[in-house]
Amino acid sequence: MKKHLVYLALLILAAVLLGTQLPTQSVEARNPTSPPPNDVAVTAVGSDIDPEAMAALTRMGTYLRSIKAFQVEAVTTRDEVLDSGQQIQFDSKVNFLVRMPDRLRIEVENVRQHRLYLYDGKDFTVWAERANYYATVPAPPTVGKLAGEVDDKYGIQIPLEDLFYWGTPQSKEKDITGAIDVGPSEVGGVTCEHYAFRQKGLDWQAWIQMGDFPLPRKLVITTLTDESRPQYSSVLTWNLAPSFNDAAFEFAPPKDAHKIAIAEESAPAGAEK
Partner 1 sequence: MNRSIRFSLVGLTVLLLPFATLVSGQRGGGGGHAYHGGAQTSVNRGSNMNRNTNINSNRNVNVNSNRNVNVNVHNDVNVHGGYHGGGGYYGGGCCYHPVATAAAVAAASIVTAAVIGSMVNTVPPSCSTVMVNGMTYSQCGNTWYQPQFSGSSTTYVVVNAPR
**Residue 98 Cβ vs partner 1, minimum distance, rounded to whole Å:** 16
Helix (H, G, I), strand (E, B) or coil at 93: strand
Using the minimum distance from each CB to partner 1, give the nearer residue, 153 or 242.
153
Cα separation, 50 vs 182, in Å, equals 10
The amino acid occupying position 102 is D
Using the minimum distance from each CB to partner 1, give the nearer residue, 82 or 241.
82
Helix (H, G, I), strand (E, B) or coil at 107: strand
Residues 6+ apart with CB under 8 A from 234: 74, 75, 76, 77, 94, 159, 160, 218, 219
Report which DSSP code applies to 189: T
- Residues in the site for partner 1, rule: CB under 8 A? 78-83, 88, 90, 108, 111-113, 115, 126, 128, 130-131, 133, 135, 147-148, 151-152, 154-157, 159-162, 165-166, 170-172, 197, 199-202, 204, 221-223, 225-226, 230-232, 258-263, 268-270, 272-273
Report which of 200, 217, 245 is spatially closest to residue 69, judged by C-alpha positions. Answer: 245
Using the minimum distance from each CB to partner 1, give the nearer residue, 182 or 262.
262
**Residue 49 Cβ vs partner 1, minimum distance, rounded to whole Å:** 15
**Residue 101 Cβ vs partner 1, minimum distance, rounded to whole Å:** 17
Using the minimum distance from each CB to partner 1, give the nearer residue, 10 or 261.
261
Using the minimum distance from each CB to partner 1, give the nearer residue, 195 or 238.
195
**Residue 175 Cβ vs partner 1, minimum distance, rounded to whole Å:** 9
**Residue 40 Cβ vs partner 1, minimum distance, rounded to whole Å:** 12
**Residue 34 Cβ vs partner 1, minimum distance, rounded to whole Å:** 16
Report which of 102, 78, 82 is spatially closest to residue 91, judged by C-alpha positions. Answer: 78
**Residue 180 Cβ vs partner 1, minimum distance, rounded to whole Å:** 15
Using the minimum distance from each CB to partner 1, give the nearer residue, 98 or 147.
147
Side-chain-side CA neighbours of residue 89 (13 Å): 10
Using the minimum distance from each CB to partner 1, give the nearer residue, 7 or 90.
90
Spatial strand order of the sheet with 103-109 comes to 87-99, 103-109, 114-119, 123-128, 133-138, 258-259
Instruction: Supply the DSSP string of 146-186, one letter for each residue.
Output: HHHHHHHHH-PPPTTTHHHHTTSTT--GGGEEEEEEEEEEE
Q: How far is CA 249 from CA 24, 46, 48, 268, in A?
A: 52, 44, 43, 31
